[in-house]
Every structure is written in structure tokens, then in C-alpha cells.
Amino acid sequence: MKMSEYIDEAESVLLHTYNRYQIVFDKGEGVYLYDIEGKRYLDFAAGIAVFGLGYNNKKFNDAVKAQVDKLVHTSNYYYNVPAIEAAKKLTKAAGMDRVFFTNSGTEAIEGAIKTARKYAFNKDGKNDHEIIAMNHSFHGRSMGALSVTGNPHYQEAFKPLIGGIKFADFNDLDSVKVLVNDKTCAIILEPVQGEGGIYPATDEFLKGVRKICDENDILLIFDEIQCGMGRSGRMFAHEYAGVKPDVMTVAKALGNGLPIGAFLVNEKAAALVPGDHGTTYGGNPLVCAAADKVFDIFEEEHILENVNEVGAYLSEKLDELVNEYDFITAHRGVGLMQGLEFNVPVGPIAKETIESGVILITAGTNVIRFVPPLIVKKEHVDEMLKTFKGVLDKVNA
Ligand SMILES: *Cc1c(COP(=O)(O)O)cnc(C)c1O
């Protein structure tokens, strides 16, 4: 069947919640994707910052296949070895004490919110606790996660959301301070805002928020779902500021494409006990075997070193674009999580770039996001730029 025929079929059966690019992908190899008509694309989106280790990584595939043949699912009434191994590696990498595995990012956020409410409930037995979240944040689409997502457009039709959520301005400590009271149980933020337009938190902001939390016995929740797992050049982006959270969420690159997320807590925030929380699939042997292998490959293939080297190169090149094109107004980012801000809508630019064979994604209406697989090389950056600049020149003309 032709691509257009598949797309017609898709639109007759799938719920129309996305305006998709008109591509049906077939397979991937390294940093390249191929559609079902054989066209090759250089991928600078990685399935929204997920496919860190690249497509068709043999070590990863072999580990997953071996686990498929052994055991895929058992439920959480029992223990399984891949979950134990993945938990040891994740807690060690994160410097956190305990982990709960979920199936997605949004579920990890639900767990973090429940942790915060239970922690406060244990202290005063009250049900009026508040959480401070950030404007322009993104934490997911389920009701709790949506409630702390600072984007009114995503929330509007789904109210009432969960109560007791207040919004402060990212990187503005005073705006956080004025919202703190004795009902506040948590402050939640992304160390680098992703969907909101690639905004890294300042060290000063993270340190200040940590201080507020310490002084008021409030839990600090870092959402590292997008910026974590090496994307920033550190295993977790908050390491740059040397500030540790009480609760942390991870997903996206954790399973390199298999659906696994997690929330981690320090011993103090381990407030959930039997009966408080659960999941049927979460942490099953298959997805945990994948996450376990991801950590091995990070070490064996020196992923962080590559992110730092190629991230610095990408960053330098994107700075040049800001100087070169008047409609590019800013460049922000860390490691292989970079963004270019435009003063024109970026939707058509992304679409044209994709049609020219390079996959890019947007963040909001005026930011182009660069989140390639973490194994990308400088030559791929050059290849991406050649195509991207071709498109920019057309826009400029
Ligand atoms: C993607 C994302 C989520 C939601 O994860 P899902 O797996 O899509 O539910 C939450 N927080 C951040 C920062 C994200 O980037």
C-alpha cells in the first residue's frame, strides 16, 4: 500500500488528537528513520527526546528480545530480577533512595503528586494542601499532571482540575515566595522546561527553591522526564546546580522507546505505603530489562561524553544562526536539548524541514526544538544544518 493510502486508513480509525505530519515510518537505523516508501530522514527529534541510543541498537534489541522469550509480565504482587537491576541502577544514577516504576511520564507525575499530598497529610492530617507549579511548564495529560501544567490552553475544557495548585514564574524566586504558606506541600518544576520552549532553570533559582523547601518542610519535585537521562550532558539536569530534589520523575529516554517511567524519592519523602498506590504493568520485566540495558549502554558507549562534545558543537552552530537570520531571536539550551526562538510561526519551517529529510519538532508556536538521539555525531549536526539553512534561506527570500 502507498503512504497516502495508509494515512487515509489511519484517519478513518484513529481518534483525531494529533495533526500528524504526512509520513508513515517503517524502520530506523542509528540516527536515521525510513518511511515505508524508502525515503531516509535524519532524526533530530528522537521520538520526542525518547530514542536516546538510536534506532536498531543491537545490544539493546538483543536484551529486549531475550527478555521477551523469558518473561514479559507478572504484576507487582511478586518480585522480578530486571526490575531489581533497573531500580539499583536508576537510584544510583539519580542519587535517590527508592523508586516506583510507571508506564509513562504522566503517571510518574501522578505518583509524585500523591507522594507530596501524603507526606503533608502524615504531618497534619489535613486535606487542604497546595502545590506550587510553574507557568509554561509541561507535566503530562492525565488529570493530576494536567493540573500542574502551566498552560491554560491544555486545561480549559477539562476543568475542574485537582484543586490547590498555584502557578509561579519560572526563574523568578520572589514569585514562588509569595505563594508559600502553611498549606504548601510541594514545589514542582522542570530543571529545563521542554515543551514550554527550552528554558533552563538558573542555578540561583534551583538553590533558592531548595532553600524555601528546607525552611518550610516542603517537598521539592524535579520533573526530569525530558531533560533527564543524559540529555543535558549530565545524567540529570539538576546536577548542574548541585541541588537535590526530594522527589524526581523520569520517563522518555529511560526505556529507549519501551514505555517505562518512574518516580524516585529520598527516604524522607517515602510516604506512600501498601494500599496507597499501584500499577498493573508498571515495572514489568520487559520494560525493566530495557531500562537496565540503557544504563549499561550509557557506560559502555560513553553517552554522556558524546552529549557534551556534540552538544557544545550544536550550541555553537545555533548561536551562529541567531546572528545570521533576523527572524531568529534567541538560542537556549543545554547538551542535546536546544531551542531556537523565532519571531515568526515555526510550524511551516518545521514542516518544510521534515519534507526536506530532517526531522525537527517545535515547542509552542515559536520555538524549534533540537533533541536528537544522544549518539548523534558532529557530521550529523552539519548535515542537519545544511538542510535547515536551506529552508531558512527560502523563508528569508
Ligand atoms: C513528556 C513529558 C511528560 C509526560 O510524559 P508522557 O510519557 O507523555 O506521559 C511530563 N513531563 C515532561 C517534562 C515531559 O517532557
CA distance 165 to 353: 39
Q: Provide the residue type at 67 as one letter.
A: Q
Correct CATH for 3-53+302-396 of 3.40.50.1970, 3.40.50.11740, 3.40.640.10, 3.90.1150.10: 3.90.1150.10
Q: For a substitution probing ligand 1, which of 138, 143, 151 has the most ligand atoms within 8 Å of its CB?
A: 138
What size, in residues, is the chain? 397
Q: Is the distance from CB of 371 to CB of 347 less than 8 angstroms?
A: no
Instruction: Give alpha helix (H) positions in the chain.
Output: 3-13, 46-49, 58-70, 81-94, 105-124, 143-147, 152-155, 173-177, 203-216, 285-300, 303-324, 347-355, 378-396
Q: Quick one: pLDDT at residue 395?
A: 85
| Residue 43 beta carbon below 6 angstroms from any ligand 1 atom | no
CA distance 229 to 236: 6
| Residue 42 beta carbon below 6 angstroms from any ligand 1 atom | no
- Residue 5 CA to ligand 1 center (angstroms) comes to 31
The residue contributing the CA closest to ligand 1 atom 11 is 139
The residue contributing the CA closest to ligand 1 atom 7 is 105
| Residue 138 beta carbon below 6 angstroms from any ligand 1 atom | yes
Closest Cα to residue 324, out of 385, 240, 243, 259? 385
Q: For a substitution probing ligand 1, which of 148, 225, 361 has the most ligand atoms within 8 Å of its CB?
A: 225
Pairing of strands 219-223, 247-250: parallel
CA distance 110 to 147: 10
| Residue 222 beta carbon below 6 angstroms from any ligand 1 atom | no
CA distance 81 to 87: 10
Correct CATH for 59-300 of 3.40.50.300, 3.40.640.10, 3.20.20.70, 3.30.70.100: 3.40.640.10
Residues in CB range of 354: below 8 A, 6 or more apart: 21, 23, 41, 360
- Residue 191 CA to ligand 1 center (angstroms) comes to 13
| Residue 193 beta carbon below 6 angstroms from any ligand 1 atom | no
Closest Cα to residue 142, out of 158, 128, 153, 131? 158
Domain ranges, ordered by start, for the chain: 3-53+302-396, 59-300
Q: Is the distance from CB of 277 to CB of 100 less than 8 angstroms?
A: yes
Q: Quick one: pLDDT at residue 80?
A: 97
Q: Quick one: pLDDT at residue 239?
A: 98
- Residue 39 CA to ligand 1 center (angstroms) comes to 29
Mean pLDDT, 10 residues at a time, the chain of 397 residues: 95 95 96 98 97 96 98 96 98 98 98 98 98 98 98 96 98 98 98 97 98 98 98 98 98 98 98 97 98 98 98 98 97 98 96 97 96 98 98 89
Q: Which residues pair with 367 in a beta bridge?
A: 341, 363
| Residue 136 beta carbon below 6 angstroms from any ligand 1 atom | no
With a threshold of 0.95, does the pTM exceed it? Answer: yes
The residue contributing the CA closest to ligand 1 atom 10 is 139
CA distance 225 to 192: 10
| Residue 110 beta carbon below 6 angstroms from any ligand 1 atom | no
Q: Quick one: pLDDT at residue 397?
A: 76
Q: Quick one: pLDDT at residue 2?
A: 93
